[in-house]
Amino acid sequence: MTTTLPIDQMIDTTNGMISREIFVSPDYHREELEKLFTRAWLFVGHESQIPNPGDFFVSRMGQESVILCRDMQGKVHVFLNSCRHRGMKVCRYEQGNTSLFVCPYHSWSYTTDGKLQGVPLYRVLYEGQLDRAEWSLIETPRLHVYKSTVWASWDPDAPDFMTYLGDAVDHLDQVLDCRDGRPGGSEVIGVHKWILPSNWKFAAENFLGDTYHNPSHRSVDMIGIGPSARAGQSGRRDNEYNKGQHVWVSFPQGHGVHSVWMPEGFDYQPSYAQYPEVDEYFRHCFHERKTRLGDKARIMPFTGNLFPNVSYHGRQPRGLCVWHPHSPTETEAWRFFLVDADAPAMVKDVLRRFYMRYSGPAGMTEQDDMENWLYATAASSGPIARRYPFNYQQSLGAFKRNDPLPGDVSTQITEQNARNYYDVYARYLKGDGWDSLLGRGDAVRVAAE
CA-CA distance, 250 to 397, in Å (whole number)? 13
Whether the Cβ atoms of residue 408 and residue 399 lie closer than 8 Å to each other:
yes
341 binds other proteins (CB under 8 A): no
Closer Cβ to other proteins, 267 or 342, answer by number: 342
Query: Contact with other proteins (CB under 8 A): which of 105, 122, 126, 194?
Result: 194
Closer Cβ to other proteins, 357 or 427, answer by number: 357
Query: How many C-beta atoms lie closer than 10 Å to residue 114's C-beta?
Result: 18
Query: Contact with other proteins (CB under 8 A): which of 168, 196, 257, 429?
Result: 196
Residues in contact with other proteins, total (CB under 8 A)?
A: 42
Closer Cβ to other proteins, 203 or 260, answer by number: 203
CA-CA distance, 78 to 61, in Å (whole number)? 10
Residue 337: CB minimum distance to other proteins, A: 5
367 binds other proteins (CB under 8 A): yes
310 binds other proteins (CB under 8 A): no
CA-CA distance, 20 to 14, in Å (whole number)? 17
352 binds other proteins (CB under 8 A): yes
107 binds other proteins (CB under 8 A): no
Q: What is the CA angle 190-195-199, rounded to 5?
A: 120
Q: What are φ and ψ of residue 245, in 5° steps?
A: -95, 115
Residues 163-192 that bind other proteins (CB under 8 A): 189-192
Residue 288: CB minimum distance to other proteins, A: 26
CA-CA distance, 31 to 196, in Å (whole number)? 21
Closer Cβ to other proteins, 289 or 315, answer by number: 315
Closer Cβ to other proteins, 161 or 336, answer by number: 336
CA-CA distance, 273 to 74, in Å (whole number)? 43
Query: Contact with other proteins (CB under 8 A): which of 53, 118, 184, 197?
Result: 197
212 binds other proteins (CB under 8 A): no
Closer Cβ to other proteins, 248 or 323, answer by number: 323
Query: Contact with other proteins (CB under 8 A): which of 66, 137, 203, 370?
Result: 370
Residue 220: CB minimum distance to other proteins, A: 6
Which residue(s) pair with 116 in the sheet?
A: 110
Closer Cβ to other proteins, 124 or 345, answer by number: 345
Can you spell out the DSSP letters for 145-202? EETTEEEEES-TTPPPHHHHHGGGHHHHHHHHS-TTS-S--EEEEEEEEEEESS-HHH
Closer Cβ to other proteins, 216 or 239, answer by number: 216
Closer Cβ to other proteins, 41 or 202, answer by number: 202
Residue 257: CB minimum distance to other proteins, A: 24
> 364-381 burial, b for 16+ CB within 10 Å, e for fewer?
bbbebbbeebbebbeebe
Residue 427: CB minimum distance to other proteins, A: 31
Stretch that binds other proteins, among 114-122, 178-186, 204-212, 222-230 (CB under 8 A): 222-230
Which residue(s) pair with 305 in the sheet?
A: 256, 311
What letter would DSSP give residue 344? -
Residues 6+ apart with CB under 8 A from 32: 62, 325, 428, 429
> What order of strands is seen across the sheet that includes strand 11-12?
11-12, 17-18, 390-391
102 binds other proteins (CB under 8 A): no
CA-CA distance, 224 to 301, in Å (whole number)? 21
Residue 130: CB minimum distance to other proteins, A: 29
Residue 246: CB minimum distance to other proteins, A: 24
Give me the residues that bind other proteins (CB under 8 A), please: 92-96, 189-198, 216, 218-220, 222-225, 229-230, 332, 337, 352-353, 355-357, 361-362, 364, 367-368, 370-372, 374-375
